[in-house]
Protein backbone atom coordinates (compact mmCIF):
# COMPACT_ATOMS: atom_id res chain seq x y z
CA UNK A 1 0.00 0.00 0.00
CA UNK A 2 1.20 3.52 -0.77
CA UNK A 3 2.33 5.54 2.22
CA UNK A 4 1.90 9.02 0.70
CA UNK A 5 0.24 10.78 -2.18
CA UNK A 6 -2.94 9.95 -4.02
CA UNK A 7 -4.39 6.60 -3.01
CA UNK A 8 -7.09 6.51 -5.69
CA UNK A 9 -5.56 4.20 -8.28
CA UNK A 10 -7.50 5.71 -11.20
CA UNK A 11 -6.36 9.25 -10.44
CA UNK A 12 -2.79 8.13 -9.75
CA UNK A 13 -2.67 6.36 -13.13
CA UNK A 14 -4.16 9.31 -15.04
CA UNK A 15 -1.64 11.73 -13.51
CA UNK A 16 1.25 9.37 -14.23
CA UNK A 17 0.19 9.08 -17.87
CA UNK A 18 -0.16 12.84 -18.52
CA UNK A 19 2.17 14.47 -21.01
CA UNK A 20 2.79 18.15 -21.65
CA UNK A 21 -0.48 19.97 -22.53
CA UNK A 22 -2.70 16.97 -21.68
CA UNK A 23 -5.75 18.00 -19.67
CA UNK A 24 -8.02 16.69 -16.93
CA UNK A 25 -11.12 18.29 -15.43
CA UNK A 26 -12.17 18.67 -11.81
CA UNK A 27 -15.95 18.96 -11.76
CA UNK A 28 -18.80 19.76 -9.44
CA UNK A 29 -21.58 17.21 -9.00
CA UNK A 30 -23.65 18.64 -11.85
CA UNK A 31 -21.22 19.00 -14.76
CA UNK A 32 -22.17 16.61 -17.58
CA UNK A 33 -19.40 14.21 -18.62
CA UNK A 34 -19.20 13.74 -22.39
CA UNK A 35 -19.62 10.26 -23.83
CA UNK A 36 -16.28 8.55 -24.24
CA UNK A 37 -14.49 10.58 -21.54
CA UNK A 38 -13.39 8.67 -18.45
CA UNK A 39 -15.32 9.73 -15.34
CA UNK A 40 -13.67 9.17 -11.97
CA UNK A 41 -16.56 9.67 -9.55
CA UNK A 42 -15.52 10.65 -6.04
CA UNK A 43 -18.91 12.12 -5.02
CA UNK A 44 -20.26 10.63 -1.79
CA UNK A 45 -22.97 13.20 -1.04
CA UNK A 46 -23.58 16.84 -1.85
CA UNK A 47 -20.51 18.74 -0.71
CA UNK A 48 -18.31 15.69 -0.11
CA UNK A 49 -15.60 15.73 -1.22
CA UNK A 50 -15.43 19.41 -2.03
CA UNK A 51 -13.91 20.92 -5.15
CA UNK A 52 -11.16 22.48 -3.03
CA UNK A 53 -10.26 19.25 -1.26
CA UNK A 54 -9.86 17.40 -4.55
CA UNK A 55 -8.01 20.21 -6.33
CA UNK A 56 -5.61 20.67 -3.40
CA UNK A 57 -4.61 16.99 -3.57
CA UNK A 58 -4.34 16.93 -7.37
CA UNK A 59 -2.23 20.13 -7.39
CA UNK A 60 0.27 18.54 -4.97
CA UNK A 61 0.96 15.80 -7.52
CA UNK A 62 0.53 17.52 -10.91
CA UNK A 63 2.57 20.14 -12.75
CA UNK A 64 -0.12 22.62 -13.84
CA UNK A 65 0.60 25.24 -16.48
CA UNK A 66 -2.95 26.44 -17.16
CA UNK A 67 -6.30 26.41 -15.34
CA UNK A 68 -9.39 26.91 -17.51
CA UNK A 69 -12.66 28.00 -15.90
CA UNK A 70 -15.94 29.32 -17.27
CA UNK A 71 -16.16 33.11 -17.16
CA UNK A 72 -19.52 32.81 -15.34
CA UNK A 73 -17.50 31.87 -12.23
CA UNK A 74 -16.72 35.60 -11.82
CA UNK A 75 -20.31 36.39 -10.79
CA UNK A 76 -21.70 32.93 -10.06
CA UNK A 77 -19.02 31.73 -7.64
CA UNK A 78 -16.54 34.48 -6.73
CA UNK A 79 -15.37 32.53 -3.64
CA UNK A 80 -14.07 29.68 -5.78
CA UNK A 81 -12.46 32.13 -8.20
CA UNK A 82 -10.72 33.84 -5.26
CA UNK A 83 -9.46 30.43 -4.08
CA UNK A 84 -8.12 29.67 -7.57
CA UNK A 85 -6.41 33.06 -7.76
CA UNK A 86 -4.75 32.42 -4.38
CA UNK A 87 -3.68 28.90 -5.34
CA UNK A 88 -2.38 29.69 -8.82
CA UNK A 89 -0.66 32.63 -10.47
CA UNK A 90 -3.41 34.75 -12.03
CA UNK A 91 -1.63 34.52 -15.40
CA UNK A 92 -2.22 30.76 -15.33
CA UNK A 93 -6.01 31.14 -15.06
CA UNK A 94 -7.97 31.36 -18.30
CA UNK A 95 -11.52 32.58 -17.74
CA UNK A 96 -12.19 33.64 -21.35
CA UNK A 97 -14.61 30.78 -22.19
CA UNK A 98 -18.32 30.82 -21.48
CA UNK A 99 -19.84 27.80 -19.70
CA UNK A 100 -21.12 26.19 -22.89
CA UNK A 101 -17.67 26.40 -24.49
CA UNK A 102 -16.12 25.10 -21.25
CA UNK A 103 -18.38 22.04 -21.41
CA UNK A 104 -17.37 21.50 -25.05
CA UNK A 105 -13.69 21.63 -24.03
CA UNK A 106 -14.26 18.72 -21.62
CA UNK A 107 -14.63 16.44 -24.68
CA UNK A 108 -10.83 16.69 -25.07
CA UNK A 109 -9.77 15.87 -21.49
CA UNK A 110 -8.23 12.57 -20.45
CA UNK A 111 -10.63 12.30 -17.48
CA UNK A 112 -13.26 14.17 -15.50
CA UNK A 113 -12.88 13.82 -11.75
CA UNK A 114 -16.35 14.37 -10.27
CA UNK A 115 -16.54 15.82 -6.77
CA UNK A 116 -19.56 16.26 -4.53
CA UNK A 117 -19.30 20.05 -4.86
CA UNK A 118 -22.71 21.72 -4.97
CA UNK A 119 -21.87 25.32 -5.85
CA UNK A 120 -22.22 26.79 -9.35
CA UNK A 121 -19.31 26.81 -11.79
CA UNK A 122 -16.95 24.95 -9.43
CA UNK A 123 -15.25 23.29 -12.38
CA UNK A 124 -11.83 23.62 -13.96
CA UNK A 125 -9.72 22.07 -16.63
CA UNK A 126 -6.10 21.58 -15.59
CA UNK A 127 -3.47 21.56 -18.33
CA UNK A 128 -0.34 19.60 -17.60
CA UNK A 129 3.03 21.29 -17.71
CA UNK A 130 6.52 19.90 -17.32
CA UNK A 131 8.91 20.31 -14.42
CA UNK A 132 11.97 20.78 -16.58
CA UNK A 133 13.06 23.27 -19.23
Residues 31, 124 contacting (CB under 8 angstroms) = no
Distance of alpha carbon 28 from alpha carbon 19, whole angstroms: 25
Which class for 36: exposed (0-12), middle (13-18), buried (19 or more C-beta within 10 A)?
exposed
99 is in an annotated binding site: yes
Instruction: List the beta strands (DSSP E) in 28-122.
Output: 38-41, 64-70, 93-97, 111-114
Q: Is 121 annotated as a binding residue?
A: yes
Check whether 89 is labelled as a binding-site residue: no
4 annotated as a binding-site residue: no
Concerning whether 20 is annotated as a catalytic residue, the answer is: yes
* Active-site choice (20, 46, 60, 98): 20
Q: Which residues contact 2 (CB under 8 A, 6 or more apart)?
A: 12
| 28 marked as binding residue | yes
Annotated binding site: 28, 99, 121-123
Q: Catalytic positions, please?
A: 20
Annotated binding site for substrate: 28, 99, 121-123
Amino acid sequence: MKRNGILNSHISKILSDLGHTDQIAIADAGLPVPDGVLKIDLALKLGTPSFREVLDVIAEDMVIEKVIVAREIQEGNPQTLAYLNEKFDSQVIDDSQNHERFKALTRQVKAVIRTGEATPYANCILQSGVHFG
